[in-house]
Amino acid sequence: MATEQASERRAAHLRSITVTSLASLAGIAAGFVSAMMVGTTGEAATDQLGLAIMVGFVVVQLPLLRFVGYELDGIKDHLYVAFMTFSLWFITWGILLTNHVKV
């Protein structure tokens, strides 16, 4: 009985690490793709294509998580994935925009 609970806790912990890692890496990748597609000039910060790229990365993650075997339980999980991806995209692209890095 104790080993079943430990196994369930370990599986839940592995699931949370996988979901968080995928969302974070997707956000960072979306930031770099936004910088490559839109650029890092002053006008690029107001271009809506960067936001569309980030939304695309969120949409691609949801079936990918199901394919890996992790079912998102409800709206809370979907919002978590979207928020983590948005946060890392915003930070990454913001740093690239601020430093005018050519990607």
For 1-30, what is each residue's pLDDT tens digit?
678 888 888 988 998 899 999 999 999 999
Identify the pLDDT of residue 17.
93
The answer to whether residue 5 sits within a structural domain is no
Identify the pLDDT of residue 68.
87
The answer to whether residue 15 sits within a structural domain is no
**Residue 46 is part of which domain span?**
22-99
The answer to whether residue 8 sits within a structural domain is no
For 43-102, what is each residue's pLDDT tens digit?
777 889 999 999 999 999 989 988 988 888 889 999 999 999 999 999 999 999 888 767
Torsion (CA) 80, 17, 72, 25 in degrees, nearest 10? 60
The answer to whether residue 9 sits within a structural domain is no
The answer to whether residue 40 sits within a structural domain is yes
Torsion (CA) 41, 101, 96, 64 in degrees, nearest 10? 110
What's the structural domain count of the chain?
1
Distance CA 96, CA 50 (A): 12
